[in-house]
Amino acid sequence: MCAAPLARRRCLQALALGLLPARGRAAGPITIRLSHVVAQPTPKGLALERFGQRLQDLSQGRIRVVIHPNSLLYGDADEMQALQLGAVDMLAPSLSKFGPVGFPEFELFDLPFLFDSSAQVRRITQGPVGQDLLALLARQRMVGLGYLDNGFKHMSANRPLLAPPDYMGLRMRVQSSRVIAHQMRALGARPVVLPFGETRRALATGVVDGTENPVSNFWTQRMHEAQTDLSLTRHGYLGYAVVVHQRFWSHLSPGDRRLVRQAVDEALDWGNTIAQRENDAALAALRASGSTRIHALDEAQRRRLRQATQEVFLGLQGRIGGAWLERVQAALA
Ligand code: LMR
Using alpha carbons only, what angle is made at residue 276 by residues 97 and 147, rounded to the nearest 5 degrees?
Answer: 40
- Whether the CA torsion 37, 42, 44, 45 is positive or negative: it is positive
| 76 CA: nearest ligand 1 atom | 2
| 173 CA: nearest ligand 1 atom | 3
Start-end of H helices in the chain:
8-16, 43-58, 79-85, 118-125, 128-136, 178-186, 199-204, 215-220, 246-251, 254-289, 299-309, 311-315, 317-320, 322-332
What percent of the chain clears pLDDT 90, i.e. is strictly above it?
A: 91
Hey, which of 40, 74, 91, 217 would you mutate to test ligand 1's pocket, going by the most ligand atoms within 8 Å of its Cβ? 217
How many CA atoms lie less than 13 Å away from 187 in the CB half-sphere? 27
| 175 CA: nearest ligand 1 atom | 2
Does residue 23 surpass a pLDDT of 60? no
CB-CB contact of 118 with 277 (8 Å):
no
pLDDT at residue 4, as a whole number = 52
pLDDT at residue 25, as a whole number = 47
Structure confidence by residue, pLDDT tens digits, 237-290: 999 999 999 999 999 999 999 999 999 999 999 999 999 999 999 999 999 999
Long-range contacts made by residues 306-309, C-beta under 8 angstroms, separation at least 24? 306/112, 306/113, 306/235, 308/164, 308/186, 308/187, 309/112, 309/113, 309/183, 309/186, 309/187, 309/235
Does residue 11 surpass a pLDDT of 80? no
Hey, which of 42, 68, 94 would you mutate to test ligand 1's pocket, going by the most ligand atoms within 8 Å of its Cβ? 94
- Whether the CA torsion 79, 91, 2, 246 is positive or negative: it is negative
pLDDT at residue 70, as a whole number = 97
13 alpha carbon to ligand 1 midpoint, in Å? 25
96 alpha carbon to ligand 1 midpoint, in Å? 8
Biggest alpha carbon–alpha carbon distance for the chain: 61
What is the pLDDT averaged over residues 82-96? 97
* Ligand 1 binding site (Cβ under 6 Å of any ligand atom): 37-38, 44, 94, 150, 175, 196, 213, 217, 238
Q: Any idea what DSSP says for residue 298?
A: P
Q: Which amino acid residue places its CA nearest to atom 5 of ligand 1?
A: 94
**All domains in the chain, ordered by first residue:** 5-332 (3.40.190.170)
| 37 CA: nearest ligand 1 atom | 8
Q: Which amino acid residue places its CA nearest to atom 1 of ligand 1?
A: 196
Q: Which amino acid residue places its CA nearest to atom 8 of ligand 1?
A: 94
| 92 CA: nearest ligand 1 atom | 8
Distance of alpha carbon 262 from alpha carbon 279, whole angstroms = 26
159 alpha carbon to ligand 1 midpoint, in Å? 22
Least confident of 14-18, 167-171, 316-320: 14-18
More confident residue, 255 or 25: 255
97 alpha carbon to ligand 1 midpoint, in Å? 9
pLDDT at residue 28, as a whole number = 85
How many CA atoms lie less than 13 Å away from 69 in the CB half-sphere? 16
Which amino acid, residue 27?
A: A
Does residue 301 surpass a pLDDT of 80? yes
pLDDT at residue 26, as a whole number = 47
30 alpha carbon to ligand 1 midpoint, in Å? 28
Mean pLDDT of all residues in the chain? 93
From residue 74, how far is each of 36, 67, 196, 250, 264 by CA, in Å? 7, 11, 11, 23, 21
Q: Any idea what DSSP says for residue 18?
A: T
Structure confidence by residue, pLDDT tens digits, 208-235: 999 999 999 999 999 999 999 999 999 9
| 196 CA: nearest ligand 1 atom | 2
Q: How confident is the model at residue 33 (pLDDT cuts 50, 70, 90)?
A: very high
What is the pLDDT averaged over residues 292-321? 96
Does residue 194 surpass a pLDDT of 70? yes
Helix, strand or coil for residue 135? Answer: helix
pLDDT at residue 13, as a whole number = 57
pLDDT at residue 16, as a whole number = 52
70 alpha carbon to ligand 1 midpoint, in Å? 10
Hey, which of 35, 38, 78 would you mutate to test ligand 1's pocket, going by the most ligand atoms within 8 Å of its Cβ? 38
Q: How confident is the model at residue 21 (pLDDT cuts 50, 70, 90)?
A: very low
198 alpha carbon to ligand 1 midpoint, in Å? 11
What percent of the chain clears pLDDT 70, i.e. is strictly above it?
A: 92
What is the pLDDT averaged over residues 70-97? 96
CB-CB contact of 90 with 69 (8 Å):
no
Least confident of 20-29, 74-83, 120-129, 154-163: 20-29
Does residue 3 surpass a pLDDT of 70? no
Hey, which of 34, 37, 201 would you mutate to test ligand 1's pocket, going by the most ligand atoms within 8 Å of its Cβ? 37
How many CA atoms lie less than 13 Å away from 149 in the CB half-sphere? 27
38 alpha carbon to ligand 1 midpoint, in Å? 7
